[in-house]
């Protein structure tokens, strides 16, 4: 009898444990999947615009019933996704090409950004003309001593094909992909360029203003420092827009409200805090 009584108690305890565990899982599941069932805004594209978009999305989701998914895959890929309906919004760090506009794409400038030429912190060269930058990236100048630096071979680090930063940089500096020095290291994303340059005394690359830190040294262009103020004054030449792109009529109400938030005073404060340049200051 004692055996039967103990067995029954054991079964009852197991039953209670299962029920309570199940309830606990449901509660936990409700917390973890709190965004399930909400409108989703799919955004993909530029790795330059991406960090800014993520900060804006995080802040916006705090006060709005919406889920924002951001995939940093490069400007051209994001533009293609927007055209094909894979993403509601594409992110681009270059202007749209005419053939993309002809397909029905519209763009909204959410911020402006500068592109800065960067070197290893020990590099003595701190100022270059735009023409000298061109000669470096096309292989006409191959040693830092030709520019007042140490006797070190120059290692060029560039972005991958399809990068909005690369397209914008090449357009402003005035050289084509075919003219890029063949020995150039190709790095995917601003972060990879920064890391590569920070670890190589020979290296030179270009990154978005947002990625500037003490691990690399920045180069003035034609005597003008890479600052937001100089971009707004149109004195610093390496600058471009940050765009959200979408098909004409292809933005949902949720997507439009997010864009409206970004362009609002609150949204533009976040833009400024991330190191990008607000559109309402231009």
pLDDT digits (tens, 9 = 90+) for 90-145: 999 988 999 999 999 999 999 998 999 999 999 999 999 999 999 999 999 999 99
pLDDT band at 34 (very low <50, low <70, confident <90, very high): low
Q: Please give the mean pLDDT across all residues of the chain.
A: 88
pLDDT at 19: 39
CA-CA distance, 227 to 116, in Å (whole number)? Answer: 9
Tokens of 184: 């150039």
Is 50 exceeded by the pLDDT of residue 35?
yes
Is 60 exceeded by the pLDDT of residue 14?
no
pLDDT at 30: 30
CA-CA distance, 181 to 152, in Å (whole number)? Answer: 17
The 3-state secondary structure of 224-235, one letter per residue = ECCCHHHHHCCC
pLDDT at 274: 85
Q: In this prediction, what percent of the chain has a pLDDT beyond 70? A: 87
CA-CA distance, 164 to 168, in Å (whole number)? Answer: 6
pLDDT at 7: 45
Q: How many CB atoms lie within 10 A of CB 109?
A: 13
Q: 92's torsion region: left (phi>0), alpha (psi -120 to 50) or beta? A: beta
Q: Where do the H-state alpha helices sit in 87-222?
A: 98-102, 130-137, 164-173, 190-198
- Looking at residues 14-37, what average pLDDT do you find? 43
Question: N- to C-terminal Cα distance for the chain?
Answer: 87
Q: In this prediction, what percent of the chain has a pLDDT beyond 90? A: 74
- 222 within 8 A of 133, measured Cβ to Cβ: no
Tokens of 19: 């029920």
Q: Which residue has the higher pLDDT, 24 or 174?
A: 174
- 221 within 8 A of 117, measured Cβ to Cβ: yes
Helix (H), strand (E) at residue 210: none
- 177 within 8 A of 150, measured Cβ to Cβ: no
Task: List 118's β-bridge partners, or say none.
Answer: 205, 218
Is 70 exceeded by the pLDDT of residue 4?
no
Closest CA to 104 of 90, 125, 121: 90
Is 60 exceeded by the pLDDT of residue 18?
no
Q: How many CB atoms lie within 10 A of CB 148?
A: 11
Is 80 exceeded by the pLDDT of residue 16?
no
pLDDT band at 281 (very low <50, low <70, confident <90, very high): low
Q: What is the pLDDT of residues 187-215, one digit of tens each?
A: 998 999 999 999 999 999 999 888 999 99
Is 80 exceeded by the pLDDT of residue 26?
no
- 78 within 8 A of 105, measured Cβ to Cβ: no
Lowest mean pLDDT among 4-8, 67-71, 200-204, 278-282: 4-8
């Amino acid at each position: 009898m004692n055996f039967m009584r103990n067995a029954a108690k054991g079964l009852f305890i197991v039953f209670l444990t299962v029920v309570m565990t199940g309830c606990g899982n449901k509660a936990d599941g409700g917390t973890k999947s709190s965004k399930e069932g909400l409108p989703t805004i799919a955004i993909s594209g530029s790795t330059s615009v991406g960090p800014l978009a993520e900060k804006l999305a995080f802040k916006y989701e705090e006060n709005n019933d919406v889920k924002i998914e951001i995939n940093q895959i490069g400007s051209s890929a994001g533009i293609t996704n927007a055209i094909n309906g894979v993403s509601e919004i594409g992110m681009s760090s270059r202007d749209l090409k005419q053939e993309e506009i002809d397909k029905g794409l519209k763009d909204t400038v959410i911020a402006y950004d500068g592109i800065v030429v960067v070197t290893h912190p020990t590099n003595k060269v701190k100022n270059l003309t735009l023409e000298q930058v061109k000669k470096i990236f096309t292989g006409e100048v191959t040693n830092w001593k030709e520019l007042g630096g140490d006797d070190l071979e120059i290692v060029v680090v560039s972005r991958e094909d399809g990068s909005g930063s690369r397209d914008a940089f090449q357009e402003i500096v005035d050289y084509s992909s075919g003219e890029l020095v063949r020995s150039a290291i190709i790095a995917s994303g601003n972060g990879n360029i920064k890391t590569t340059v920070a670890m190589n005394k020979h290296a030179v690359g270009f990154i978005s203003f947002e990625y500037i830190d003490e691990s690399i040294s920045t180069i003035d262009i034609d005597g003008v420092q890479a600052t937001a103020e100089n971009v707004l004054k149109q004195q610093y030449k390496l600058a471009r827009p940050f765009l959200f792109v979408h098909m004409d009529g292809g933005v949902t109400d949720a997507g439009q409200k997010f864009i409206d938030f970004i362009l609002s005073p609150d949204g533009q404060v976040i833009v400024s805090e991330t190191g990008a340049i607000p559109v309402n200051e231009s």
